[in-house]
Chain A
């Protein structure tokens, strides 16, 4: 029997590439996830998050690069990787034709548990995930939140040391989303290493220790949630001037007060400015009043993923036609 030497890295990937036709869905991504941490991969739809995760989980072959999980090579030992990683997909991967208990029993049997062990594990997990009353119901009658919870339960059967969560709350209503977060937090408390992808900055902020921001198949930033947020400011002041003609003088005022250039928005007289402190909004409004410029509306908002993207990449998260050159920017090391 051989032994793989222990490593502090749960995931070590370098130069990952995946090509679909002419498109490089993943274009050379490096990832390092340390043992025991929760690592978030943040990016808009189509950025390459799910593709990256699928390559690491052996669900898609890699077209380039190297990856290992706990020191085991992903390309050479897919069967071993599948025993080290539990995957919870973007769409619940459970069997519609089976009940909750039958699903977990089947996945347990497939992973080498005896029939009685598989049954006991299924019951434990159903209880832990609040699905006991649904154990004998077919999945086709489950709500979206229940499916996701069952799906998460299914990936924990063999107690894998690393868990992949692919957009665990996409499409869930806010209340169910909160429940899912609680469930994931419990998991984290038990010391699992988690690699999660998300489109939501607040989700990454809530759950992850470190975040990599992915855009068009490339990693554009990496750091703790605080470091990322500092780069965009803690919140955003959204201004709209009453007279579009006032826009240019208003930009001058905002720049003077905040020491930073506001970003013009498409509507006439609109602009967004990053605030390091929400209270700076009052300073801006007073300065505008003193300059005799009147506003149509003013809102203070927490930074959104779009603003993180603005700040880091210079283009919006959805703005795929932008021709600006991409520049890699290390927010922190």
Chain B
């Protein structure tokens, strides 16, 4: 029934039952998908969860372009290639902040007691919502790009470049969400997650090259901006969308995202398991 990779679980006999000793990878995937299904149902029934990924991209794109366009780049059209890619990263970050807050809210509900009491892989209740949230990151990225196009943004990378930038944004959102998921498993309340997340998100977004070229900043700030993972993602997205170039920046961005996942995913699972 399964391949060698998706090896069957080990079992033990207790009474006249066959009990699974450890969940197999296949069990874990099935359980994560079931949890993703639950998260999607929940999203569909709580439309207010969509405000941050629908209204915000529309509003922020227009607002930032018209306010800063003239001052920073001389004209709104010239500013669009900078601001669209910046807002892409910003909305993805806001969306993944919501992932952590909603996880915390969810964990305070009774149903999480049941999830904990069920024989499921401890990672499933975390991976499920993370998978479902891919839809939110995709929505935010799509709407930001569409708003930009309507305002006159003509990406030099063409369709393939834009698609690449879009994919990278969604992947970055998914990766960085593990930071906020970790806060979600650690903090005492959803408000606390919101507070901590804001303090992390604002410096990450604004102390980056999202809205202004980093060369205009004082030296010490420029140094931080250059190593900020959000800057890495934004530079890569700019290379893809504006130049259609698969540069080293793309590699750095992927590596940065990978490192974030490698650190915060295990931390989240450990902290979630310990909460029981």
Contacts and interface: CB of A to CB of B under 8 A. Distances in A.
Contacts of A82: 117-120
Interface in B2-16: 10-15
B111 A96 contact: yes
Nearest to A102: B41
B154 interface: no
A106 B45 contact: no
Given A3-B13, A4-B13, A79-B119, A106 B34 contact: yes
Nearest to A161: B15
Interface stretch (B18-26, B155-163, B208-216): B18-26
A143 to B, nearest CB: 16
Residue with the highest number of chain A CB atoms closer than 10 Å, among B19, B110, B118, B119: B119
A42 B188 CA distance: 31
Looking at chain A, what size class is its interface with the partner chain?
35 or more
B12 A110 contact: no
Interface string A141-165: 0000000000000100000010000
Given A80-B19, A111-B119, A91 B110 contact: yes
Interface string B86-128: 0000000000000000000000011111111111100010000
Contact of A59 (B22, B42, B117): B117
Interface string A28-39: 000000000000
A80 B21 contact: yes
A60 interface: yes
A128 interface: no
Residue with the highest number of chain A CB atoms closer than 10 Å, among B10, B13, B22, B35: B13
A109 B124 CA distance: 12
Interface string A88-126: 010111111110001000110111100000000000000
A79 B117 CA distance: 9
A154 B113 CA distance: 12
A95 B116 CA distance: 13
Interface class of chain A by DSSP: loop
Contact of B13 (A2, A84, A111, A154): A2
Given A70-B14, A106-B34, A110-B120, A98 B110 contact: no
A93 B106 CA distance: 12
B276 A98 contact: no
Interface in B36-71: 37-38, 41-42, 45-46
25 contacts: A4-B14, A6-B15, A59-B116, A70-B14, A72-B19, A77-B21, A79-B20, A79-B21, A79-B22, A80-B19, A80-B20, A80-B21, A82-B120, A83-B119, A84-B14, A85-B117, A87-B113, A89-B113, A93-B112, A95-B109, A97-B45, A98-B41, A98-B42, A109-B31, A110-B34
Interface of B: 10-15, 17-23, 27, 30-31, 34-35, 37-38, 41-42, 45-46, 109-120, 124, 276
Q: In the A-B complex, list the 4 residue pairs whose CB atoms are closest, starting with the nearest.
A: A82-B119, A93-B114, A3-B13, A93-B110
